[in-house]
């Protein structure tokens, strides 16, 4: 491998591990409402991004404010629904459903960006949804509502990624990151005010809530660096180690076990997603 590819692999390994620990902490904090977790994560990220924007003397509000706000709304939906599934579903199952995001991203781009999908990609789509059918059909711990919310979360995340693909032409990546907590914080505060979905956490829980934000920031940093210097189709494969981490953490820390048929379903989803990532798409002119 070239030096840049090697660095990219290391960056992606770091990102994947940091995201895995973030998922682990969210899963562990079962007594903390999802809205509170999302709020604290956003506060920490907001402080860190504002510091970097100030240090680099960048204008934080960007050019295309409408798209930036939409990115924040879709991103908020995606992360909130994902955290909900982490609380309601076995760890590995929630992570695998979240990994449908690249599939949904392609499907959205087919509708709005006139992307030509190759015939073999429809086979990979079929693998993914067959895997989801198996997971739901053979794992009694998974109810329909969390699964539907998880899939809606991937639609939110995929919509955010499609918007980012447009924004990165005109906006600094820190500006795009800035709008995520900028939009999330008021939205979540309104939700908390209406529902009262808040508990007074212990000192340890407050510390872990802060760590979630720190892990997210550095995971995003390493992810961005990996994509900047490496071949996206190759480097992105490394991120799917997250499924292995989730299986191991779930088994040893949360006593989550899986029937063999469910494991097959999990890996059918992963195989379908990876197949699509490795199949180049072509935009129709």
Res. 113 pLDDT band, cuts 50 70 90: low
In tens, the pLDDT along 234-256 reads 676 777 788 889 999 999 999 99
Mean pLDDT of the chain: 87
- pLDDT of 140 strictly over 90: no
DSSP alpha helix (H) spans, the chain: 3-28, 34-55, 65-88, 91-98, 101-112, 119-138, 144-167, 173-195, 203-229, 232-238, 241-254, 260-277
Domain boundaries, the chain: 3-283
Cβ pair 72, 27 in contact under 8 A:
no
Model pLDDT, residue 224:
75
pLDDT at 284: 37
Selection from 156, 154, 205 nearest residue 25 by Cα: 205
Tell me whether residue 60 is exposed, middle or buried, using C-beta atoms within 10 angstroms of its C-beta: 0 to 12, 13 to 18, 19 or more.
Answer: middle
Per residue in 114-135, pLDDT tens?
A: 667 777 888 888 999 899 999 9
Q: Can you tell me whether residue 202 is helix, strand or coil?
A: coil
Give pLDDT tens digits for 17-60. 999 999 999 999 999 999 999 999 999 999 999 999 999 999 89
Q: CA 108 to CA 102: how far, in whole Å?
A: 10
What is the rounded distance in angstroms from the CA atom of residue 157 to the CA atom of residue 25? Answer: 20
Segment 278-282 mean pLDDT? 59
Check residue 234 and give its pLDDT. 63
Mean pLDDT of 77-95: 95
Top pLDDT among 227 and 107 is at: 107
**pTM, full prediction:** 0.88
Q: For residues 41 and 55, what is the distance between their CA atoms, to the nearest angstrom?
A: 21
pLDDT at 137: 87
Using the structure block, give the residue that is written with the tokens 């005010």.
Answer: 193
Confidence of residue 204 (pLDDT cuts 50, 70, 90): very high
Task: Please enumerate, as own/partner, the contacts of 197-201 that have beta carbons within 8 Å and a separation of 24 or more.
Answer: 197/33, 197/34, 197/35, 197/36, 198/33, 198/35, 198/36, 199/31, 199/32, 199/33, 199/36, 201/32, 201/36
| Per-residue model confidence (pLDDT) at position 283 | 42
Which tens digits make up the pLDDT trace of 156-198?
988 888 888 788 788 888 898 899 999 999 999 999 999 999 9
């Amino acid at each position: 491998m070239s030096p840049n590819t090697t660095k990219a692999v290391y960056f992606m390994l770091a990102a994947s591990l940091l995201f895995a620990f973030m998922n682990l902490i969210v899963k562990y904090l079962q007594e903390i409402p999802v809205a509170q977790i999302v709020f604290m994560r956003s506060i920490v990220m907001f402080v860190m991004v504002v510091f970097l924007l100030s240090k680099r003397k960048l204008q934080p509000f960007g050019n295309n404010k409408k798209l930036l706000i939409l990115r924040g709304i879709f991103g908020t939906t995606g992360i909130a629904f994902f955290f909900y599934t982490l609380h309601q579903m076995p760890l590995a199952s929630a992570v695998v459903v979240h990994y449908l995001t690249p599939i949904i991203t392609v499907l959205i781009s087919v509708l709005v960006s006139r992307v030509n999908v190759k015939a073999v990609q429809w086979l990979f789509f079929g693998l993914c949804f067959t895997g989801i059918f198996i997971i739901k059909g053979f794992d009694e711990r998974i109810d329909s509502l969390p699964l539907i919310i998880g899939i809606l979360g991937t639609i939110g995340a995929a919509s955010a990624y499609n918007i980012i693909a447009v924004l990165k032409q005109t906006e600094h990546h820190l500006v795009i990151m800035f709008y995520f907590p900028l939009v999330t914080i008021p939205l979540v505060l309104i939700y908390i005010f209406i529902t009262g979905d808040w508990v007074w956490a212990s000192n340890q829980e407050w510390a872990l809530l802060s760590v979630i934000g720190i892990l997210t920031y550095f995971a995003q940093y390493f992810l961005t660096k990996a994509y900047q210097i490496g071949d996206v189709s190759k480097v992105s494969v490394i991120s799917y180690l997250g499924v292995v981490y989730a299986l191991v953490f779930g088994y040893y820390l949360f006593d989550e076990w899986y029937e063999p048929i469910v494991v097959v379903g999990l890996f059918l989803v992963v195989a379908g997603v990876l197949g699509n990532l490795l199949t180049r798409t072509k935009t129709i002119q």
